[in-house]
Amino acid sequence: MDVYHKILTRIYEITDGKDSVEIDLNDLLKQEGFYSNIDNILQHLTTESWVAETPRPRVVKITHWGSAEAKRVLTNTPDVKREVTKEANRLLAEARELIIMLEEFAATPSGANFKTIQKKIEDLQAITGRIQDKI
C-alpha cells in the first residue's frame, strides 16, 4: 500500500467514512510519520478527489469517492492475523508429526526414518520462514 492509500485509509478509519467529519492533516501526518510530505500528500488526495478541503488550511473531509477507494483498498488487504494463525496451526500439526517420527526413530533407528525426519524439519523451517515474513 502506498503512502496516499495509507493516509486515505487512516482518514476513513477515523471518520468511519462520514463526509461530515473534519480531519487535521497536520496531526494525522505527524502521527503517521509523513509530515515532511504534507503538501504533496494533500495535493494528491485532493487531485484524486478523495478528500475535500475546508476553509481551514490542511483540514479535510473525506469524499464519497475517498470512502469508496478506502473500502476497496481495505478489502483487498490480506488479513495478516488470520494468515499467521493458519500458518501457526500448520506449524503445530507438522511439529506433532515430527515428534511421532522422532519417537519411531528412537525405537528403531534407520537411514530411511532419519531422511524422513530431515524432510519434516525442512518443512517446519519453511513454515517458520513464512510466518516470519508476515510478522
Whether 12 contacts 1, CB under 8 Å: no
CA distance 1 to 17: 19
Task: Summarize pLDDT for 23-47 with one digit per residue, the tens.
Answer: 999 999 999 899 999 999 999 999 9
CA distance 96 to 105: 14
pTM of the model: 0.56
CATH code for the structural domain at 3-76:
1.10.10.10
CB-based contacts of 28, cutoff 8 Å, min separation 6? 7, 10, 11, 14
Task: Summarize pLDDT for 60-113 with one digit per residue, the tens.
Answer: 999 999 999 999 888 886 667 778 888 999 999 999 999 999 999 999 999 999
